[in-house]
């Protein structure tokens, strides 16, 4: 199925929004304290604990609906229950992949929404999941633990398979060809990621979004970036379509499972072991 996603008001009386005029986005986009995206610095990561390793049940997405609006988007068919688990704070819950979409800039130095250690990238893939306690994405929005978004930063390199499928679908006005979802994520993402509590990056900027940002980038080709930059809707370019950075404020950023699938810090545990061994050694000396 092929369709266009138009920029429609959220409710009667509300105006449309665009990326050129982010200063006039709804008030909560500016005043709420847990907004996304952010610049993730290793120096700001909380080293007192680590998030657990993630688990992915990703397969072949078939019959994705392709939409062109503020982004290039592929909606996963409702009968397909590809999901992830291990989201920090909700490790026992499963999150179904509902859709994926892309953000990009006008050149190779901008386009990603998240930054890593002050560095931006030409594009970013978002894979949007909802907690399977809710029947769909809309029901989960705004609920604590309701939404988890996996963000993957894209640097210039080889072709990226999903964007190729969606671009082909747009050009030929056909259903998107099958996409191997497991091929869209870095091979080490289960244990190499950052996570924090944030928001959607488009109005109304609803919070209670568990962000998972992969620590390893993947690639997108120059030709694919050029095709993204050439996309238009109603005679206007779709991009650049990235939100400016939000402050981290007092939020905690955790690294995910980089020392194994541990959800606790190794530091206090090792300290306990060392103290115990010293105690036993001292007791043996006294004997």
pLDDT recorded at residue 80:
94
Report which of residues 219 and 1 the model is more confident about.
219
**78 classed as catalytic:** yes
- Kindly state the average pLDDT of the residues 184-202: 98
Q: Report the alpha-carbon distance of residue 73 to residue 127 in Å, rounded.
A: 10
- Kindly state the average pLDDT of the residues 52-56: 96
- Kindly state the average pLDDT of the residues 68-91: 96
What digits encode the pLDDT tens for the residues 228-251? 999 999 999 999 999 999 999 999
Q: Report the alpha-carbon distance of residue 212 to residue 196 in Å, rounded.
A: 7
pLDDT recorded at residue 91:
95
Q: Report the alpha-carbon distance of residue 252 to residue 88 in Å, rounded.
A: 12
Where does the pLDDT of residue 12 fall: very low under 50, low under 70, confident under 90, or very high at 90 and above?
very low
pLDDT recorded at residue 111:
99
CA separation (Å) from 43 to 191, 252, 255? 19, 12, 11
Question: 282 pLDDT exceeds 60?
Answer: no
pTM of the model: 0.86
Q: Report the alpha-carbon distance of residue 213 to residue 203 in Å, rounded.
A: 21
Q: What Rg, from alpha-carbon coordinates, does the chain have? A: 21
Which CATH architecture best describes the domain 2-6+16-286?
Roll (3.10)
pLDDT recorded at residue 63:
85
* Catalytic residue (one of 30, 41, 71, 78): 78
- Kindly state the average pLDDT of the residues 130-154: 98
């Amino acid at each position: 199925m092929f369709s266009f996603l138009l920029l429609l008001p959220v409710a009667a009386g509300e105006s449309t929004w665009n990326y050129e005029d982010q200063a006039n986005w709804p008030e909560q986009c500016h005043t709420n304290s847990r907004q996304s995206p952010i610049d993730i610095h290793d120096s700001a990561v909380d080293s007192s604990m680590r998030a657990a390793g993630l688990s992915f049940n990703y397969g072949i997405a078939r019959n994705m609906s392709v939409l062109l609006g503020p982004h290039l988007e592929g909606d996963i068919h409702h009968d397909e229950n590809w999901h992830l688990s291990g989201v920090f704070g909700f490790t026992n819950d499963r999150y179904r992949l509902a859709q994926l979409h892309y953000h990009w800039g006008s050149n190779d130095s901008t386009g990603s929404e998240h930054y890593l250690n002050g560095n931006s990238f030409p594009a970013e893939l978002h894979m949007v999941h909802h907690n399977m306690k809710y029947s769909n994405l809309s029901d989960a929005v705004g609920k604590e633990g309701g939404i988890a978004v996996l963000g993957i930063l894209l640097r210039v390199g080889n072709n990226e398979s999903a964007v190729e499928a969606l671009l082909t679908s747009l050009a030929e006005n056909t259903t998107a060809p099958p996409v191997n979802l497991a091929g869209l994520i870095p091979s080490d993402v289960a244990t190499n990621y950052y996570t924090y509590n944030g928001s959607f990056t488009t109005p109304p900027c609803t919070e209670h979004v568990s962000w998972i940002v992969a620590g390893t980038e993947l690639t997108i080709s120059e030709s694919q970036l050029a095709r993204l930059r050439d996309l238009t809707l109603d005679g206007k370019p779709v991009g650049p379509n990235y939100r400016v950075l939000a402050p981290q404020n007092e939020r905690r950023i955790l690294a995910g499972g980089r020392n194994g699938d541990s959800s606790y810090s190794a530091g206090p545990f090792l300290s306990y072991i060392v103290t115990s061994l010293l105690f036993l050694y001292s007791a043996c000396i006294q004997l």
